[in-house]
């Protein structure tokens, strides 16, 4: 029982912080200066903590996983730098988000580095099945996903009447969706019964990011975004899920809890669920 409580201390602490943050966003002071400082520092702290965790893991994991964690740390670090620049520029020029700016473009290379990091993490290959079949599944899934992204994210923006806000906000959800597609493809070419990546945590984090960044992009286009809005909670939740995903990769889990080396990487029912999802994705 004590070991269970010890393992739950960190998730409970994160949940408590997110609860306090949500309460402040909903019912806290409406003073613009307080919203700017507390909102900016909360976003920056969450992003920097995730990047720092990836950087720390890149130094302590085994050599075959080091490259993947290094690229992940760089990608998440670029996102944290983006948050810092946005905070500084908002302090100097409160209306700069209403126009296209460097921060909108900086998010994209962060997503590319994060995708490279995930692709370089060690994972078991499927023990059965044709390689040609797997690559065909990846091709079909990618083409279908790209078509869906265009229809749901790009085409409505092209058909919408011109707005006076910032149109480059669309790069945020598009980057998230691209990274989500990479995770899905990694699931297709991995052994789902011996998952080396916490696909559930990664997908949850990227879905939260995508929804939050879609709202953010819409607010930027309309020129209505204010830091400290309830929308900002999505970034904090997404960062918490990213942190959970990093700490639950097998390379990190063995370092943090050596007893995991002799345990199955996922419960039996979850392994079966991932295997079924792996077979269904090309059909969907």
Question: Does residue 202 form part of some domain?
Answer: yes
- Long-range CB contact pairs, 101-107, < 8 A, 24+: 101/166, 101/168, 104/166, 104/168, 104/169, 104/171, 104/172, 105/168, 105/171, 106/78, 106/81, 106/82, 107/78, 107/79, 107/82, 107/171, 107/172, 107/175
pLDDT value of position 228: 86
Question: In this structure, is residue 135 part of a structural domain?
Answer: yes
Q: Which residues of the chain have pLDDT under 70?
A: 1-10, 125-130, 160, 191-196, 256-284
Please report, for the domain that includes residue 178, its CATH number: 1.20.1070
Indicate whether 16 belongs to any domain: no
Residue 129 belongs to some domain of the structure: yes
Show the domain range for 196.
31-280
Count the domains in the chain.
Answer: 1
- Give domain status of residue 75, yes or no: yes
pLDDT at res. 115: 94
Check residue 31 and give its pLDDT.
86
The pLDDT score that the predictor gives to residue 194 is 62
pLDDT, one tens digit per residue, over 203-235 is 999 999 999 999 999 889 888 888 888 889 999
Inside any domain, residue 56: yes
């Amino acid at each position: 029982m004590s070991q269970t409580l010890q393992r739950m201390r960190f998730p409970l602490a994160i949940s408590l912080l997110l609860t306090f943050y949500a309460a402040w966003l909903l019912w806290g002071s409406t003073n613009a200066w307080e919203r700017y400082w507390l909102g900016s520092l909360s976003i920056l702290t969450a992003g920097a903590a995730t990047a720092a965790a990836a950087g720390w893991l890149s130094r302590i994991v085994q050599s075959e996983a080091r490259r993947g964690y290094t690229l992940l740390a760089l990608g998440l670090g670029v996102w944290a730098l983006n948050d810092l620049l946005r905070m500084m520029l908002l302090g100097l020029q409160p209306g700069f988000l209403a126009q296209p700016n460097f921060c909108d473009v900086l998010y994209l290379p962060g997503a590319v580095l994060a995708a490279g990091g995930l692709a370089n993490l060690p994972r078991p290959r499927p023990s059965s099945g044709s390689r040609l079949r797997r690559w065909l599944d990846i091709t079909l899934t990618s083409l279908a996903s790209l078509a869906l992204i265009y229809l749901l994210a790009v085409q409505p923006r092209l058909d919408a009447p011109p707005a006076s806000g910032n149109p480059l906000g669309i790069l945020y959800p598009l980057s998230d969706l691209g990274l989500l597609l990479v995770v899905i493809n990694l699931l297709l070419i991995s052994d789902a019964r011996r998952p080396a990546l916490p696909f559930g945590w990664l997908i949850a984090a990227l879905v939260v990011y995508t929804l939050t960044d879609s709202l953010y992009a819409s607010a930027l286009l309309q020129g209505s975004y204010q830091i400290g809005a309830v929308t900002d909670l999505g970034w904090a939740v997404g960062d918490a899920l990213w942190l959970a995903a990093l700490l639950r990769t097998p390379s990190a889990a063995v370092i943090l809890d050596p007893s995991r080396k002799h345990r199955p990487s996922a419960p039996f029912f979850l392994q079966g669920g991932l295997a079924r999802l792996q077979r269904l994705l090309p059909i969907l």
